[in-house]
């Protein structure tokens, strides 16, 4: 069906909409250094009725017809319509499960609570959704004879894992710049194993970002950070996919953790497209959660977004959002203005307790998801979320990538914080009677109501 139409997309300056560039041009910013965005020919897309788009997206889901079985490429006309299917680099990302958090929701008084488990993905985070798009476009440019020696990114861990995997699959050299000692071991081993050129630099994320910007400007290495708006095109499918999973019913709230703020911009962009093309009519609200240690958007929100000032981010267990100078702050503020947005913050102990409490109900949360769960609790406390509201929390990474802080929590190793609900393993000698006695005591203590 849609193949007969002439869907088009291009880069456009966010600040100056007339300034346009082709998607196969190597360009990350407009003439004055402002961000670009990918803009689609909405009139052309609107020639297909909303109901037909829904049927097309549903028909393609979980099927194997290349590349439409991917959650991202099943929406290809809305993502990169002119990309040659042979150049798609996909691991059939997307279609992560939407978990009905029945028990956790009941415990906090929100019955209709859903957690989108984006970490159930090839490299364990939502970054796969954007990276498939970026690396596919690079493959297309290389096939057209462009001289691109490598793709590169600065990362707090998950971007580098995704870039390394997709680049390895496409046989394109990848270079990653990580802040030394500031990412988890599980995250570090991913680009190492995938054969990327891995730099661990004596700086923070913002320092790595400065290096990769210079390298891409001066040495022609292709920049894979979310400053590159191709990433946003893939990530924007998350909101569309969630609404599809809810049988096209729009929830009252989305709650999402924010660092560099590309993901919240992407979420809103997907919702914008569904509204523009008539797939939905209701607007949800969006809340961004930030770690108190890296909260420039929260501080800006306190001043009604009239000013935005970068900060020096401090150490947080939510290491993937330890970012003080987020590149997409303007896009994020626009997004929050369009979706009646709110920003909340979470302290270190709040993050750990929220993760531990939710883990006890069968989840296994990364600390960033913990930040979103703290925000959820605060919105509930302030009465902004009502009993009957349907809420979707976007869980950004798999908990298995972030086990250190859970180990420290349960082994009570996080001085000065005293964990409220630690569950250390019981270490004892292996005698039947003693073990049995202890087990029965524990069952009684924990589960008898
Ligand atoms: C990258 C990342 C974020 C933050 O996304 P931004 O687009 O940078 O705001 C949150 N959680 C995890 C696990 C991430 O990897």
Interval between CA 329 and ligand 1 midpoint (Å): 13
Atom of ligand 1 minimally distant from the CA of 323:
8
Whether 443 shows a pLDDT value over 80: the answer reads yes
Cα of 222 vs centre of ligand 1, distance in Å, is: 21
Mean pLDDT of 75-90: 97
Mean pLDDT computed over 403-424: 92
Interval between CA 295 and ligand 1 midpoint (Å)? 13
Distance 230 CA to ligand 1 centre (A): 16
pLDDT tens digits, 7-41: 899 999 999 999 999 999 999 999 999 999 999 99
pLDDT on residue 415: 83
Strand partners, 114: 100, 392
Q: Which residue has the higher pLDDT, 119 or 226?
A: 119
Q: Are 283 and 339 in contact (CB under 8 A)?
A: yes
Q: What is the atom index within ligand 1 of the atom nearest the CA of 226? A: 7
How far apart CA 325 and CA 308 sit, in angstroms, is 10
Nearest atom, ligand 1, residue 265 CA: 7
Burial of 9-30, coded b for 16+ CB within 10 Å and e otherwise, reads: bbbbbbeeeeeeeebeeeebbb
Nearest-CA neighbor of 155 among 322, 312, 314? Answer: 322
- Give the mean model confidence (pLDDT) for residues 276-303: 98
Among 122, 396, 398, 403, name the best residue to mutate to test ligand 1's pocket (greatest count of ligand atoms within 8 A of Cβ).
Answer: 396
77: Cα within 13 Å, side-chain hemisphere = 24
Mind listing the pLDDT tens digit for each residue in 126-182?
999 999 999 999 999 999 999 999 999 999 899 999 999 999 999 999 999 999 988
Residue 262's pLDDT is what?
A: 96
Q: What is the mean pLDDT of residues 67-95?
A: 97
Residue in 321, 365, 366, 402 to alter for ligand 1 test, most ligand atoms within 8 A of Cβ? 321
Q: How far is the CA of 396 from the centre of ligand 1 (A)?
A: 7
Residue pLDDT, tens place only, 91-112: 999 999 999 999 999 999 999 9
Cβ pair 221, 323 in contact under 8 A: no
Contact in structure between 176 and 191 (CB atoms under 8 Å) = yes
51 CA → ligand 1 middle, Å: 32
Question: Count of CB atoms within 10 A of residue 181's CB?
Answer: 8
Secondary structure percentages of the chain, helix, strand, coil, to 5 = 45, 15, 40
- What does the pLDDT read at residue 2? 46
Q: 189: Cβ–Cβ under 8 A, 6 or more apart, which residues? A: none
pLDDT over threshold 50, residue 217: yes
Q: Ligand 1 centroid vs 39 CA: distance in angstroms?
A: 23
What local confidence, expressed as pLDDT, does residue 6 receive? 78
Question: Could you write out the DSSP letters of every residue in 389-436?
Answer: -EEEEEE-BBGGG--HHHHHHHTT--TT---SS----------HHHHH
CA of residue 441 to ligand 1 center, whole Å: 42
Ligand 1 centre distance from Cα of residue 417 (Å)? 25
> Among all chains, which residue has been given the structure tokens 């096209």?
248
Question: Residue 202 has what pLDDT?
Answer: 95
Asked whether residue 449 carries a pLDDT value surpassing 80, the answer given is no
Does residue 3 or residue 135 have the better pLDDT? 135
* Residue 1, pLDDT above cutoff 70: no
Pocket, ligand 1, Cβ cutoff 6 A: 125, 127, 158, 226, 257-263, 320-321, 366, 368, 396-397
How far apart are the CA of 163 and the centre of ligand 1, in A?
A: 14
- Among protein residues, the one whose CA lies closest to atom 11 of ligand 1: 396
**What integer is the mean pLDDT of 43-64?**
96
69-88 core/surface letters (b: 16 or more CB in 10 A; e: else)? bbbbbbbbbbbbbebeeebb
Q: Which residue has the higher pLDDT, 322 or 187?
A: 322
Query: What pLDDT is attached to residue 4?
Result: 54
Q: How far, rounded to the nearest angstrom, does the alpha carbon of residue 394 sit from its chain's CA centroid? A: 8
| Confidence tier at 183 by pLDDT (50, 70, 90) | confident
pLDDT, one tens digit per residue, over 111-121 is 999 999 999 99
- Examine the pLDDT at 378 and tell me if it is beyond 50: yes
Per-residue model confidence as pLDDT tens digits over 311-331: 999 999 999 999 999 999 999
For ligand 1, atom 2, which residue shows the shortest CA distance?
320
pLDDT above 80 (res 370)? yes
CA geometry: angle 401, 404, 407, nearest 5 deg:
120
For residues 277-290, average pLDDT: 98
Q: Which of 131, 260, 329, 402 to mutate to test the pocket of ligand 1 (most atoms within 8 A of CB)?
A: 260
SS3 151: strand
52: CA distance to ligand 1 center in Å? 33
Per-chain mean pLDDT for the chain: 95
Q: How confident is the model at residue 417 (pLDDT cuts 50, 70, 90)?
A: confident
Q: What is the dihedral of CA 140, 146, 151, 152, to 10 degrees?
A: -130
Q: Candidates 239, 263, 375: which one to mutate for ligand 1, based on the most atoms within 8 Å of Cβ?
A: 263
Residue nearest to atom 8 of ligand 1 (CA): 260
Q: How far apart are the C-alpha atoms of 102 and 1, rounded to whole Å? A: 39
Picking from 3, 6, 1, the residue whose alpha carbon sits closest to that of residue 44 is 6
Task: Say whether 241 sits in a helix, a strand or coil.
Answer: helix
- What is the spatial distance between Cα 413 and Cα 407, in angstroms, rounded to a whole number? 8
């Amino acid at each position: 069906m849609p193949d007969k139409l002439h869907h088009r997309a291009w880069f456009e300056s966010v600040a100056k909409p007339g300034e346009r560039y082709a998607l196969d041009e190597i360009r990350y910013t407009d003439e004055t250094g402002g961000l670009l965005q990918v803009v689609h020919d909405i009139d052309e897309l609107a020639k297909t009725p909303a109901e037909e788009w829904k049927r097309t997206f549903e028909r393609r889901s979980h099927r194997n017809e290349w590349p439409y079985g991917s959650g991202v490429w099943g929406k290809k006309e809305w993502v990169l319509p002119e990309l040659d299917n042979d150049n798609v680099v996909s691991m059939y990302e997307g279609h992560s499960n939407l978990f009905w958090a029945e028990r956790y929701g009941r415990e906090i008084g929100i019955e209709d609570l859903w957690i989108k488990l984006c970490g159930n993905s090839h490299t364990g985070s939502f970054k796969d959704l954007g990276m498939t798009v970026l690396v596919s476009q690079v493959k297309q440019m290389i096939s057209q004879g462009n001289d691109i020696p490598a793709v590169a990114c600065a990362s707090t861990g998950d971007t580098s894992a995704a870039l390394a995997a997709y680049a390895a699959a496409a046989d394109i050299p990848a270079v990653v710049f990580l802040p030394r000692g500031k990412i988890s071991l599980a995250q570090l081993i991913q680009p190492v194993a995938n054969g990327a050129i891995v730099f661990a630099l004596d700086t923070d994320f913002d320092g790595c970002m400065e290096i990769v910007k210079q390298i891409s400007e001066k040495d022609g290495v292709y920049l894979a950070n979310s400053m590159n708006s191709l990433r946003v095109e893939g990530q924007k499918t998350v909101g569309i996919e969630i609404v599809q999973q809810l049988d096209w019913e729009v929830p009252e709230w989305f709650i999402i953790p924010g660092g560099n703020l590309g993901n919240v911009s992407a979420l809103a962009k997907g919702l914008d497209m569904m509204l523009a093309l008539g797939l939905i009519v209701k607007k949800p609200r969006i809340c961004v959660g930030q770690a108190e240690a890296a909260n420039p958007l929260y501080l800006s929100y306190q001043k009604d977004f009239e000013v935005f000032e970068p900060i020096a981010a401090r150490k947080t267990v939510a290491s993937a959002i330890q970012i003080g100078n987020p590149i997409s702050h303007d896009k994020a503020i626009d997004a929050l203005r369009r979706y009646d947005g709110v920003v909340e913050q979470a302290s270190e102990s709040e993050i750990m307790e929220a993760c531990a409490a939710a883990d006890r109900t069968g989840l296994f949360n990364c600390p960033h998801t913990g930040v979103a769960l703290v925000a959820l609790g605060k919105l509930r406390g302030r009465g902004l979320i009502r009993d009957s509201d349907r809420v979707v929390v976007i869980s950004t990474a798999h908990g298995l990538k972030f086990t250190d802080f859970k180990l420290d929590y349960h082994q009570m190793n996080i001085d000065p914080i005293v964990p409220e609900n630690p569950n250390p393993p019981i270490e004892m000698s292996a005698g039947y009677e003693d073990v049995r006695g202890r087990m029965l005591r524990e069952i009684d203590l924990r589960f008898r109501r």
